[in-house]
Amino acid sequence: MNVYLDNNATTRVAPEVLEAMLPYFKDEYGNPSSMHSVGGRVKKEIEAARAKVAELIGADPQEIVFTSCGTESDNTAIRGALEASSGKKHIITSRVEHPAVLSTVRYLEKRGYSLTELPVDRQGMIDMSEYEAAFREDTGLVSIMWANNETGVIFPIHEMAEIARGKGVVFHTDAVQAAGKLKIDMKDTPADLLSISGHKLHAPKGIGVLYVRRGTPMTPFMLGGHQESGRRAGTENVPYIVGLGRAAELAIAGMAEENTRIKSLRDKLEKALLEKCPDAMLNGHPEHRLPNTTNISFEFVEGEAILLMLNREGIAASSGSACTSGSLEPSHVMRAMGVPFTAAHGSIRFSLSRYNEEPEMDYVAEKLPPIIKRLRELSPFVKK
């Protein structure tokens, strides 16, 4: 059996999405900026896709800007908002952000910006009193993710954005993991900027979205033509935009399933592994997290070894550890949460999608415990 449980890294392109895209590789090949009817038909489909993405997050279609990926959306939001912020050079973020955000703000810090990285507690949550105290007169931007990619922990974005708005500060949220899994309504949530990545919700890699609330000051990151109402130059990636629109439709239709059936499968797997594997612990908040995500640490073993042995059994998951320059380091998220050293290296993330089924959870629950037992027998950290 082959079991794919790495959907927070990327998802399978839905067959319905691929079907919607195919005509725009072959028959409908016009440039949407062209004045003739061949381009006009394509332009019409881009605007239809824009409306579908807007519906997914409760936005106005004119607030949707198509980009190449979530990373571009994050970079555009952060750098574009700060450049338009009248010289305010203080940024607030968290220690558990995706590298697309952390790398960008740390780059800016080296070039004269001031940066506050908020800590999280053992369950991956931010202290709201610390958040509010972090604001300064020169704070120009807040960037806090909607949901963490490693643990699934959900942050109180509505409350955080309200505080920022009350202080006159632009608020950006990386919603790459949340979009399509959680209900998002930007008419109710006072965030100014929001990032989405298509390949996290069954669209292809290479398409993203930046939501820009009407009236939010922004300097374009990509300069050139007039595309995207002058907010992002470059000829539109038409097949992928159409595909993302179809994926948004599917996500809206499947939201209830995401929060019931998929959550039930996640809980079944999580319960079995915590019961069958001694010295295993859940990383992240048990309730305030995405319905498809669980992150479990298996003490005294290395995550990479677990993943290699799971792969031999046809199981794809991901580790909270990364091998850098030949030395093993726990992920920055596990370190920020204060996960013990003996457990941080053995953290495994299982992330489900609509294509997972119950027999797959039974299979993983059967195969993983013997792997953990075998690795602990070989571990120098376990007393023999």
Strands 293-298 and 280-282: antiparallel
- Alpha-carbon span 321 to 325, nearest angstrom: 13
Q: Rounded to the nearest 5°, which phi and psi values hold at 33? A: -85, -5
Distances (CA, A) of 105 to 99, 121, 220, 279, 362: 10, 22, 17, 37, 42
Which residues, in sequence order, are bridge partners of residue 173?
194
The answer to whether 69 is a known catalytic residue is no
Integer CA distances (angstroms), 226 to 33, 72, 105, 195, 346, in order: 9, 18, 28, 21, 49
Rounded to whole angstroms, the Cα distance separating 203 from 198 reads 5
H helices of the chain, where? 15-21, 23-26, 37-57, 70-83, 99-109, 128-133, 157-166, 238-258, 261-276, 303-312, 332-336, 341-344, 358-378
Asked if 136 and 113 count as a contact pair (C-beta separation under 8 A), the reply is no
Q: Maximum CA pair distance of the chain?
A: 76
The dihedral built from the CA positions of residue 379, 380, 381 and 384, taken in this order, carries a sign that is positive
Q: Three-state SS for 39?
A: helix
Residue with tokens 């381009």: 39
Among residues 38, 133, 323, 328, the one annotated as catalytic is: 323
Residue 139: count of CB within 10 angstroms of its CB:
21
Q: List, by residue number, the catalytic residues.
A: 323
